[in-house]
Amino acid sequence: MNYLTASVLFLAGTVDLATYIISMIVVVLVAVIGAFVFIVLYKKRTEKEVGSAKQQVEKILNEAKAEAERIIAQGREESKRALKEALLEAKEQDLKLRNEFDRETKEKRAELQRMEQRLTQKEDSLDKKLEALEAQKQNLARQEEEVKALQAKLNSQHELMIQELEKVAQLTKDEARKILMEEILDSVRHDVAIQVRNMEQQARDEADMNAKKIISLAIQKCAADQASELTVSVVPLPNDDMKARIIGREGRNIRALENATGIELIIDDTPEVVILSGFDPVRREIARLSLEKLIADGRIHPARIEETVDKVTREIDLQIKEAGEAAVFEAGIFGLHPELIKLIGRLKFRTSYGQNVYKHSMEVAMLAGQMAAELGLDVTFAKRAGLLHDIGKAVDQEQEGTHIQIGADLAKKYKENANIVNAIMAHHGDVEPKTIEAVLIQAADAISGARPGARRETGSNYVKRLERLESIASSFPGVEKSYAIQAGREIRVMVKPDQVDDAQALFLAKDIAKKIETELEYPGQIKVNVIREFRSVEYAK
């Protein structure tokens, strides 16, 4: 169906619709007129009036019919005229569309012709390139055959040459390769061993020099006073009569003082002296201060004793807190749990081998901090671990276990870092250190404890330790003699040369050192020196 036919059908439908509308208008007019007539007839009740009304109605109806016919005729004329105009317009539109379609068709055809020409040119170009590639492929194949022939010729000549060399050298190719590799490996191994030894020696020298420098700087920057204390305290008396007042009637005063403080009072023939004995340094200090206040006051009776002990206990608690805060402030540590601060303050009254643990902990913190600063490590972490490394000694007399385990448990309880806990547990080598700062705590602890005058022990304990040291070394098989020298800092072990060789002597030194670390308590470190000497004696007669 073309455009013209469609336009004609549309216009024909339009004309029929107009005719239908005119007819409906006529029907409506007739209905209106009928209604009007009915109303008129209803109002005029007389026959005369009815007759006149009929005439008027007929007249109106005739006029309406004539008007309707005129309107219908006029509508048909207008419809015919509109149909003609629509046909003309449709023909013009159809002609316009045909011209546009022809123009577009010509343009598309010309474009297709151009594209076909380009494709033809590209196809010709590709054919030429394929022909060139095929020629190059044939040339490469020919050259490859020539190379293979030359390679085969070279291989055959190489085999002949190897056979001639094997005949001359009287060695096979594998044997010659093995001999050459062995010579090369021997030469390289020797050179590598020399280079490794030189590098190890150089690294050892540099490490020793740097370690000595760092430790010397740390020691120079930290100068702590050392005061040796015992497990007993001595309280001077103004006169011997005061002893009787301290004992009281039937010993009630001395019993009240011992019950209140938990410290034993020793009153003997020593003039003007009372000795306080107890393992807890805090309670011993409370007893000492309480007794001094009672002697100064002069009023010594059970009620006064309890009152004085309570007052001194509160003062000591305050001193413990202030000492802990002072140590934390001096070390520059923040965020420490208040209970840990109190435990640090308790160390002020704790001694180890005659060394005050409070001052020792502060010294270790300062030494570790200085060494960490020299190495570019975490200074705050090193100081914190150094200050807390012996925290277990504050309560080790009240709890079961070593001060290391107790200190680690306290650090865990008060939410200290896992690395701090590791540094506490590793400062005596019980576990492997996980950080460099933990190693620095070990070094700082050894420096603080091993410096001259820092620690001391009683003569009997010193002799027992030396005897135990020699017995440990002599307990190993193959040991002939052992001597503790350098005030117990070194154990010299003489072994039987026919039972212990040089390699076994090395392992024997390690085993003795390990057993000493396990079974003996000592300050600083002990050098184990194993000597194997073979003597051959003969007499000339």
Backbone phi and psi for residue 208, each to the nearest 5 degrees, phi listed first? -65, -40
Whether 472 and 498 map to the same domain: the answer is: yes
Let me know: does 350 contact 393? Beta carbons within 8 Å.
Answer: yes
Q: What is the pTM of this model?
A: 0.46
| Cα distance between residue 385 and residue 381, in whole Å | 6
pLDDT at 236: 84
- Three-class secondary structure of residue 356 per DSSP: strand
Mean pLDDT of the chain: 80
Domain-located, residue 224: no
Whether 366 and 445 map to the same domain: the answer is: yes
**What are the pLDDT digits (tens) for 101-151?**
888 988 898 899 989 888 988 888 888 888 888 888 888 888 888 888 888
Domain-located, residue 401: yes
Q: Which residue has the tokens 């030396």?
A: 466
**What are the pLDDT digits (tens) for 438-489?**
888 888 888 887 665 555 555 556 678 888 888 998 999 989 888 888 767 7
**What are the pLDDT digits (tens) for 221-273?**
554 544 444 556 788 888 878 888 888 888 888 888 888 888 888 887 778 88
Whether 178 and 65 map to the same domain: the answer is: no
Look up residue 337 and give its amino acid: H
Among the three residues 404, 420, 450, which one is the final residue of a domain in this structure?
Answer: 450
DSSP 399: S
| Cα distance between residue 226 and residue 217, in whole Å | 20
Q: Which residue has the tokens 């020699």?
A: 470
User: For residue 494, is pLDDT > 80?
Assistant: yes
Whether 463 and 442 map to the same domain: the answer is: no
Domain-located, residue 500: yes
Let me know: does 351 contact 405? Beta carbons within 8 Å.
Answer: no
User: For residue 523, is pLDDT > 70?
Assistant: no
- Quote the crossing angle between the two packed helices 379-388 and 338-346, to the nearest 10°: 60
Range of the domain at 478: 459-532
Whether 271 and 358 map to the same domain: the answer is: yes
Let me know: does 334 contact 381? Beta carbons within 8 Å.
Answer: no
Whether 317 and 407 map to the same domain: the answer is: yes
- Alpha carbon 428 to its chain centroid, in Å, reads 27
- The residues, any chain, with a CB within 8 Å of residue 327's CB and separated by 6 or more, are 344, 345, 358, 361, 362, 387
Number of domains in the chain: 4
Q: Are strands 264-266 and 232-236 parallel, antiparallel or unpaired?
A: unpaired
User: For residue 395, is pLDDT > 50?
Assistant: yes
Among the three residues 430, 450, 470, which one is the final residue of a domain in this structure?
Answer: 450
Write out 84-115 in H/E/C secondary structure.
HHHHHHHHHHHHHHHHHHHHHHHHHHHHHHHH
Residue 231: closest CA among 169, 283, 272, 273: 283
User: Could you please report the per-residue DSSP string of 125-180?
Assistant: HHHHHHHHHHHHHHHHHHHHHHHHHHHHHHHHHHHHHHHHHHHHHT--HHHHHHHH
**What are the pLDDT digits (tens) for 332-348?**
888 889 899 989 988 88
Among the three residues 394, 421, 450, which one is the final residue of a domain in this structure?
Answer: 450
Domain-located, residue 193: yes
Q: How confident is the model at residue 18 (pLDDT cuts 50, 70, 90)?
A: low
Let me know: does 263 contact 276? Beta carbons within 8 Å.
Answer: yes
Whether 31 and 103 map to the same domain: the answer is: yes
List of long-range contacts for 267-271, beta carbons under 8 Å, 24+ apart: 267/243, 271/240
| Cα distance between residue 467 and residue 487, in whole Å | 12
